């Protein structure tokens, strides 16, 4: 799975790193509970289709992480694991060195999020 990174993200001050890997299953949003450990997620769903790391450098961001973003301390790294599900994809958010899912978001299939408002 590849992902377009809008050039506007640089304007928001986000540092990005992408790593692609495999995934398994046809789960739904409810199958990814907040509070689950990395190990629990990996055992239940396999490796994510994509891993991404953002460092919060701005208050504004677009995408499934929008609602969760306000709870992230400025400067903190957020590791995002993406899994395909029926109708789109689920993003799981790990802040700092957290072992547990601290938030999640849903991106509908075909959604395009631009990097600037």
Report CA 75 to chain centroid distance, whole Å.
17
Q: Is residue 112 over pLDDT 90?
A: no
- State the DSSP code for 47: S
pLDDT of 12 reads 38
Provide the token pair at 32: 């990814």
Specify whether the backbone of 47 is left (phi greater than 0), alpha (psi in -120 to 50) or beta.
beta
pLDDT of 114 reads 59
Report CA 2 to chain centroid distance, whole Å.
14
Q: Model pTM?
A: 0.72
CA-to-CA distance for 77 and 117, rounded, in angstroms? Answer: 22
């Amino acid at each position: 799975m590849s992902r377009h990174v809008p050039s506007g993200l640089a304007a928001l001050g986000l540092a990005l790193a992408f790593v692609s890997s495999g995934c398994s299953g046809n789960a739904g949003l409810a199958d990814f509970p907040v509070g689950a450990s990395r190990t629990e997620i990996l055992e239940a769903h396999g490796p994510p289709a994509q891993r991404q790391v953002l460092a919060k450098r701005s208050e504004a961001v677009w995408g499934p992480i929008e609602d969760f973003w306000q709870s992230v301390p400025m400067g903190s790294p957020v590791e995002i694991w993406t899994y395909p599900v029926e109708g789109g994809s689920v993003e799981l958010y790990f802040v700092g060195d957290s072992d547990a899912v601290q938030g999640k978001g849903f991106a509908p299939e075909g959604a395009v999020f631009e990097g600037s408002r």
